[in-house]
């Protein structure tokens, strides 16, 4: 089921609150919490609570959308965890071994973003072969 932008953002806030209260996290929440921990620059945003869900982030602002950025980290981890597209797990593990998890994922996000942007521009599904080719070049 698809969630609205605000519903997705509220998930981050829920996880943030659980982290602050040291509450037990569900498996997906644990992944989200780990990504949040990797991005202390977003902690003030999450501390702001529901007002954090209201802002639009556009390329014209010159700011990265923190929710989209963290979502891409989560997407990469889910892709690697399920080896989907087939072959991404090996690439992910190799890059993490070389660069560390955060830098590896940031490099991979560039490929993911490019493939998603191209798919959106062409009104098509993302090209898994182009995605894997880009990842293997990293």
**pTM confidence score:** 0.92
Banded pLDDT at 87 (limits 50, 70, 90): very high
Query: Alpha-carbon distance 109 to 77, whole Å?
Result: 11
Contact 46, 52 (CB under 8 A): yes
Percent of the chain past pLDDT 70, that is, above it, reads 99
Banded pLDDT at 13 (limits 50, 70, 90): very high
CB atoms within 10 A of CB 71: 17
Asked whether the bond before 85 is cis by omega within 30 degrees of 0, the reply is yes
């Amino acid at each position: 089921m698809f969630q609205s932008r605000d519903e997705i953002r509220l998930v981050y806030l829920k996880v943030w609150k659980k982290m602050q209260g040291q509450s037990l996290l569900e498996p997906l929440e644990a992944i989200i919490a780990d990504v949040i921990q990797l991005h202390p620059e977003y902690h003030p945003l999450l501390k702001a609570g529901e007002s954090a869900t209201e802002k639009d982030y556009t390329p014209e602002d010159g700011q990265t959308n923190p929710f989209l950025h963290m979502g891409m980290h989560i997407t990469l981890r889910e892709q690697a965890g399920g080896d989907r597209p087939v072959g991404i797990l090996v690439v992910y593990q190799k890059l993490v071994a070389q660069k560390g998890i955060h830098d590896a994922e940031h490099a991979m996000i560039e490929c993911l973003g490019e493939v998603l942007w191209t798919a959106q521009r062409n009104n098509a599904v993302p090209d898994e072969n182009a995605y894997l080719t880009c990842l293997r070049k990293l």
